[in-house]
Amino acid sequence: QPGGLYSPGDALVLLQVDTLERRVLNSSSAWLVEFYASWCGHCVHFAPTWRALAADIQEWSPAVNLGVVNCADIANQKACKKFGITGFPTLKFFKAFSKSPEDGTKIFHPGDSIQNLRQSIITNLEMHKETWPPACPPLEPASVEEIRGFFQTNNVMYLALIFEANDSFVGREVTLDMLQYENVAVRRVLSSEEELVKKYGVTAFPSGFLLINNGTFSRIPVKMEARSFYTYFLRRLPGVTRGPYAPTSAPDTPIKSTLTPRRPADRSKVYMADLESALHYALRVEVARFSVLTGERVRALKDFVTVLAKYFPGRPFVQNFLRSVDRWLRNMRESRIPYSALERVLTNRKEGQAPEVLSNNMTWVGCQGSKPHFRGYPCSLWTLFHLLTVQATRYRRLGTGPLEVLGAMRGYVWSFFGCRECAQHFEGMAAESMDKVRSVDKAVLWLWSRHNRVNARLAGTETEDPEFPKLQWPPPDLCPLCHGVVNRRHVWDEAAVLRFLKAHFSPANIILDYTEPEMVLVVRHSREAKEGAGERAMGEGEERGEAEEEERGEAEEEERGEAEEEERGEAEEEERGEAEEEERGEAEEEERGDNGRGEEDEGEERRPGEPEAAGVGMEVGGSERRGSSGPRKPSIVRMNPKTQELEEDIVDLDNFSELHYKSKALKAAAVAANKQWRLSKRDTIPLLLADDSHQDFDYAAAWERLRRRGRGSKQLIGALEENEGDALRRNHWFRMLGVGFSRLDLSLCIVLYFLSSMCLLGMYTFFRMRTRLRKGRPGFPTA
Ligand SMILES: Cc1cc2nc3c(=O)[nH]c(=O)nc-3n(C[C@H](O)[C@H](O)[C@H](O)COP(=O)(O)OP(=O)(O)OC[C@H]3O[C@@H](n4cnc5c(N)ncnc54)[C@H](O)[C@@H]3O)c2cc1C
């Protein structure tokens, strides 16, 4: 499993999307499957136990198999959803010959002890009623009659009897341990079976007796009356051999493993790639685990998306995306939202003058771990929420109170965060003190201090990436002023910490390295959306369980989604956009006022996503952004100077992409205007400005550079040409008439033609009448 916690060397079956159902359902053995997410700290913590359990019961495999599925692997996402997995780790037991994913029953693993888990497997095996796994020996206690006629009905040399109390598992464990061995059988006998106890003179429980088919018997001579001693003794008996069963440790399909190259990252920066990956994972993977969102989850999602739409300082098309999802959710009055309906909104579809796109790539940069299972999503989620708490201090007027962002985080973590034990820990901290937070500044500090508590708890555990030790943060090299010593004890200077957090989690400190350029995203996602629509249509036929949801979702989507998007959407966008703009403007003014008074040493305030000046106590941002205002030279990629050299190509490609896309956007705007779509001044002016500023850009040369760049670029070029081709095909009718003719132009021509004809006809009639009148006059008598 690429990036997973387990490897082919472990004694368990690594299941993937293509093997999960095939292996687990309709199997002649039972299965216990761990569904995990490689980024989940508790899964990392649990992995050694699961691995050890697999090794411990490896010999039970003809009766019960142990498997694992990494649900963090996007390829497995749908399969995990189908199996009803909403949190990690989840253990599900599937009886032999289970028919559907819903047949799995959750197994709780109190204390994560191997013994508890082993016993739990036995208890579940015993639940088989009609369809007992063929390779599993009987586990129920033996009776006097069965023992009496045992050698007549069973062709074995030995019968081992384990005398034990009713609640002991030793007998059943030894039975399963020996199931692959021939010429020997094992039965447990309860201490309450008096006749047998008396017959063999049993005085201690547990104790083992060996009966041979020649009628003799003796006590099993072991140092300790325990499972491993019995098993060891029985496996070495003369004539006892291992049967033809082979342990199932090899996976069906070869493991594809792609090593992700290490991306150089600067610890003093925040990376947009991490933040966008967090958004994608949170909205399209974590939320997607629930086929239907109800009650608390609906509220939690709405709150989360609202704070994102308000405060996330993203690239414009990401902000558009978030606002559009927020608008859709706010218009949803029902307390029940099928994910299939939400999914359509979360799929990037909107192109044109205001693209709404969120990448579905997961690229970790500042959150990249030394191994794939370290860091990643949880790291990016912390980063996202720190950023949001800081952004909320900048736009106080937009906020609804000091708990707005923290409350949204609490709701999100509780309702959706896949690491369920992490969610419980966080909820514990929130319940303890979150409601005591009285200001947005205090909210920033509350999250910082609680995160440090988590860091302290996890330091030195197996979830810690050795290359990124869990320190109390920020360390002195990042913020010397944050640290002090009083009475030889370390103390935090909270005012300095707050200033540092505000600078660190500010838009100016966000680096765009490794983000996908806008145009690449738009082209790729529109293609994926089309493919996705096709797949969904096919999938609906197959996935009967989900059919109802899908249908309802589609109907709702059709009724609501499209109507809302098209009818209400535009009007609301304008209204709300303008209202928020105003509010932001006011907030900014106010904040500027505050800054003028010198309360916060933060420099000029800006709207989310706009550049800002350097913060305090650290090097923030690149020089090209500092203090810039008005139209800037187009550069959507702000490279970290350290990686600039390495990534020269990416800058070039990104610049090209942006410029090309903007020119396309301008064309789209013209088409939109012709279609009589509403384009406000606010929309068109930046587009015109953008295009003017790019007039000297040589597209032909850029295309050529792309072409020369070989295989990697071919896909992109293909996609661009395909997209371009689509547009051309759509417009060919107009192109035949010549550039610049639109439907509106043609209609105006026809109307003018009609009016001028009418005018000529009128004039003709008028002159004709006058001539007639004149001709008739001489006939009249003159005075
Ligand atoms: C809500 C929540 C609860 C969690 N609970 C658990 C749990 O109970 N058990 C478990 O094993 N894992 C838990 N995790 C995961 C764990 O906290 C880490 O996120 C994960 O181990 C990755 O660690 P990391 O080294 O990338 O740094 P993280 O702790 O994820 O930090 C990410 C980045 O934030 C910055 N940072 C670090 N500390 C602070 C701070 N105090 N204030 C501001 N910024 C900071 C640093 O730049 C750091 O690189 C939880 C995650 C979340 C989001």
Residue whose CA is closest, atom 52 of ligand 1?
378
Distance CA 650, CA 641 (A): 13
Q: Is the CB–ligand 1 distance for residue 463 below 6 Å?
A: yes
Residue 45, judged by CB atoms within 10 A of its CB (0-12, 13-18, 19+), counts as middle
| pLDDT for the residue numbered 677 | 33
| pLDDT for the residue numbered 690 | 33
328 Cβ contact partners less than 8 Å away, ≥ 6 residues apart? 342, 345, 561, 564, 565
Residue whose CA is closest, atom 32 of ligand 1?
379
| pLDDT for the residue numbered 751 | 87
40 is annotated as an active-site residue = yes
What percent helix, strand, coil does the chain show, rounded to 5? 55, 10, 35
Distance CA 634, CA 574 (A): 26
Residue whose CA is closest, atom 50 of ligand 1?
422
pLDDT in tens, 504-518: 999 999 999 999 888
- CA dihedral sign, ordered 396, 399, 403, 405: negative
| pLDDT for the residue numbered 586 | 55
479 is annotated as an active-site residue = no
pLDDT in tens, 159-188: 999 999 999 999 999 999 999 999 999 999
| pLDDT for the residue numbered 108 | 78
| pLDDT for the residue numbered 683 | 34
Give the distance (Å) from ligand 1 centre to CA of residue 24. 35
Give the distance (Å) from ligand 1 centre to CA of residue 2. 23
575 Cβ contact partners less than 8 Å away, ≥ 6 residues apart? none
| pLDDT for the residue numbered 563 | 43
pLDDT in tens, 616-628: 333 333 333 333 3
| pLDDT for the residue numbered 585 | 55
Query: Of the candidates 410, 187, 405, which has an alpha carbon nearest to the alpha carbon of residue 311?
Result: 405
| pLDDT for the residue numbered 678 | 35
Low-confidence ranges of the chain (pLDDT < 70): 1-3, 109-111, 245-259, 348-353, 529-745, 775-783
- CA dihedral sign, ordered 47, 52, 57, 61: positive
pLDDT in tens, 185-217: 999 999 999 999 999 999 999 999 999 999 999
Q: Is the CB–ligand 1 distance for residue 386 below 6 Å?
A: yes
pLDDT in tens, 522-577: 777 777 766 666 655 555 444 444 444 444 444 444 444 444 444 444 444 455 55
User: Does residue 92 sit in helix, strand or coil?
Assistant: strand
| pLDDT for the residue numbered 663 | 44
Ligand 1 atom with minimal separation from the 382 CA: 53
Q: What is the mean pLDDT of the chain?
A: 78
Ligand 1 atom with minimal separation from the 383 CA: 34
| pLDDT for the residue numbered 31 | 97
| pLDDT for the residue numbered 93 | 96
Distance CA 589, CA 481 (A): 29
Distance CA 191, CA 121 (A): 23
Residue whose CA is closest, atom 5 of ligand 1?
422
Distance CA 618, CA 603 (A): 14
Q: Is the CB–ligand 1 distance for residue 472 below 6 Å?
A: no
Q: Is the CB–ligand 1 distance for residue 150 below 6 Å?
A: no
| pLDDT for the residue numbered 746 | 73
Give the distance (Å) from ligand 1 centre to CA of residue 429. 14
| pLDDT for the residue numbered 594 | 42
Q: Is the CB–ligand 1 distance for residue 509 below 6 Å?
A: no
Give the distance (Å) from ligand 1 centre to CA of residue 601. 27
- For a ligand 1 pocket test, name from 266, 281, 371, 382 the mutation site with the most ligand atoms within 8 angstroms of its C-beta: 382
Query: Of the candidates 413, 434, 432, 411, which has an alpha carbon nearest to the alpha carbon of residue 422?
Result: 413
Looking up tokens 């956007």 gives 665
10 Å Cβ neighbour count for 645?
A: 8
Give the distance (Å) from ligand 1 centre to CA of residue 370. 15
Q: Is the CB–ligand 1 distance for residue 382 below 6 Å?
A: yes
ipTM of this complex > 0.95? yes
Give the distance (Å) from ligand 1 centre to CA of residue 93. 32
10 Å Cβ neighbour count for 287?
A: 23
